Every structure is written in C-alpha cells, then in structure tokens.
Amino acid sequence: MYLGFDIGGTFVKYAWMRHSGEHVEQGKFQTPYNSAEYLVEKMADVYQHSTQDIKGIAISCPGTIDVETGMVYYGGALKYLHKKNIAQMLSDSCGVPVSIENDGKCVALAERWQGSVKDYRHSIVLTFGTGIGGGIIINGKLHRGANLEAGEQSYVMESFNHDNNHAEFAGPVCSASTMVNDIAKIKGLEANDGIGAFEYINAEDPEALAIFNHFCKNVAVQILNLQYIIDPEVFAIGGGISVQPALLKGINESIKVIKKANPIHMATPNIVICQFNSAANLYGALYHYLLQHESND
C-alpha cells in the first residue's frame, strides 16, 4: 500500500493506493499557509494515523521540483515551499521512502501510465486552469529538460511588442479561469462559475461565444507551435473545463480557421481529452514513485 498526497492551493488531498493505482481510502485537509514545517507535520499525522501498512509516500506538489533530491523551488501559491526539501522532511518524519513531482507533470504521468496517451511514445499533456500545466512525453518518458523547465507552457511568449519590450505569455492568454470569469462578468454570474459560463457557450450566446472562441484560438496557436517543435503523436487536454465537449470542438475548429487563413501550415494535431480529472495528480505521483523506487526502466 502507498500513501499519495496532492498539495493544492486550497486543500491537500490524500489517498491510500494499491500498486495498480486503485484508491482504497481517501480524504483531505485544508492547505496550511504558515510554514513548510507545519505542512509536513499535517502530512505526517495522516501517515501516523493510517491503519494500512505503507510502503512509501508519493507527493504531487506545485513549483519546480528536483525529483532526484526532493528540493522544491518557488512552490506556486505556497511561497514557503521555496528551497524546502519536502520529500526528505517527510521521509525523516515517517521513516519510509518519499518521492515528489510537479503537479502538472503528475497529470502527464497519470495519462502516460493509465490514461489517454498510454499507447503513444510521443505526447504532450496540457491542463488548463489559472494557467497551463502539463508535461512532455518523449520515447515514453517524461522530459524535464536540463533546468527542469521543459513543459512549462505558461511561460512561453505568445507575442512580443518591440516598442516597449512587453511580452504576452501563454499562461494568461490561455487561462481557462480568466475565460470563465470574463463570461461570468458580462452575464452576471458569480466568479468561477464554469457550469454557468458553459451554459451560455453551449446555447451559442454571442457574447459568451466570442470570449470562448478567442480563448480556443489562443490554445490552438500554442498547440500548433508545439506540434512543430516536438511533433507529438497526440495532445491530451485536461483541467476542469475538459469535461465540456465544446472545448475539444472549439479547439479543433480554431485550428481549421487558423490553417485556412495561413496556408503555410502543414500540421494537423491529434487532440484528445485526458482520461483522469481530479484524481490525476495522485495517480501520477504514485507512478512517479514506482518509476523512481521500484523500476530499473
């Protein structure tokens, strides 16, 4: 049995998982915002009160992660994680091996292990939320890059203004949260009401559709760029909005529009929807643990 943790901005989710990834039991606690030490204390408390025989602990964590040492850099919204070795701290407390991986890359690993890209050697997984997360799979393995920055699509420049040296980045312009809230604002919905926003999109409300189509074109641009750079067999799209059929349709239609207006394009990306949703980070964290501690591959 393994214990998995998914450190999020609001909650830390956890689950007792079999080698297959099956969840035996799960729970969550509110993410602490005071210190890394208190976070580890809360995680260790879950381990100590476990009735299962835990072989190892797998963590999905925001930030840039050195998976070999366990060191976390930056930590997303949890600034106290910067330059903290969460894996070592938790291992010292619990006395079992601990692995740690970036949350977006955990999604990519989950899809590679048991999800929508498991039958492909070369794939890219993109998850859309506040920004863009995910990872690049080359020859069946997650590609991290020399500086652990491969797959950080949010930091790719979407455009650049030579007059003021100002850049637009893919993260903000492909933000699903921003798209949803822009629709919510003009339609009088509550903030982050994705279901309400898509009701307007699916009803082909002109104002909502204009915002959604703009978002889809921005995503399509990034996918086309990545197709030429990495040339994957498939893209898998995830995040909360990926459950909406309109998303895949909108992205594919945007690619057609872009290609028609720019005949130089040769590529036609193959795009599918991620199989895992909220459980992806835990599955990916466990797969990373198995690769790191129980595989010679």
What pLDDT sits at residue 296? Answer: 54
What pLDDT sits at residue 158? Answer: 93
Length of the chain in terms of residues written:
297
What pLDDT sits at residue 277? Answer: 85
- Answer for the pair 180, 197: CB distance below 8 angstroms, yes or no: yes
Average pLDDT over residues 117-131: 97
DSSP labels for the chain?
-EEEEEE-SSEEEEEEE-TT--EEEEEEEEPP-S-HHHHHHHHHHHHHT--S---EEEEEESSEEETTTTEEES-TT-GGGTTB-HHHHHHHHHSS-EEEEEHHHHHHHHHHHHSTTTT-SSEEEEEESSSEEEEEEETTEEE--TTS-TT-GGGSEEEEETTTTEEEEHHHHT-HHHHHHHHHHHHTPPTT-HHHHHHHHHTT-HHHHHHHHHHHHHHHHHHHHHHHHH--SEEEEESGGGGSHHHHHHHHHHHHHHHHH-TT------EEE-S-STTHHHHHHHHHHHHHHH---
pLDDT digits (tens, 9 = 90+) for 144-166: 999 999 999 999 999 999 999 99
| Distance separating alpha carbons of residues 72 and 120, to the nearest angstrom | 30
| Distance separating alpha carbons of residues 108 and 142, to the nearest angstrom | 8
| Distance separating alpha carbons of residues 32 and 40, to the nearest angstrom | 10
Place of tokens 């408390």: 45
Q: Write down the architecture of domain 116-273 according to CATH.
A: 2-Layer Sandwich (3.30)
Domains 2-102+278-294 and 116-273 share a fold: yes
What average pLDDT does the chain have? 96
Residue 170, amino acid: A
Strand partners, 128: 132
Structural domain boundaries of the chain? 2-102+278-294, 116-273
CB within 8 Å of 275: residues ≥ 6 apart: 111, 114, 115, 116
pLDDT digits (tens, 9 = 90+) for 210-257: 999 999 999 999 999 999 999 999 999 999 999 999 999 999 999 999
pLDDT digits (tens, 9 = 90+) for 76-107: 889 999 999 999 999 999 999 999 999 999 99
pTM value is 0.95
| Distance separating alpha carbons of residues 229 and 136, to the nearest angstrom | 11
| Distance separating alpha carbons of residues 63 and 65, to the nearest angstrom | 6
| Distance separating alpha carbons of residues 245 and 216, to the nearest angstrom | 13
- What's the DSSP call for residue 223? H
User: In the CATH scheme, what is the code of domain 2-102+278-294?
Assistant: 3.30.420.40
Q: Give CA 70 to chain center in angstroms.
A: 19
pLDDT digits (tens, 9 = 90+) for 255-297: 999 999 999 999 999 999 999 988 999 999 999 999 999 975 4
Structure tokens at 239: 């995040």
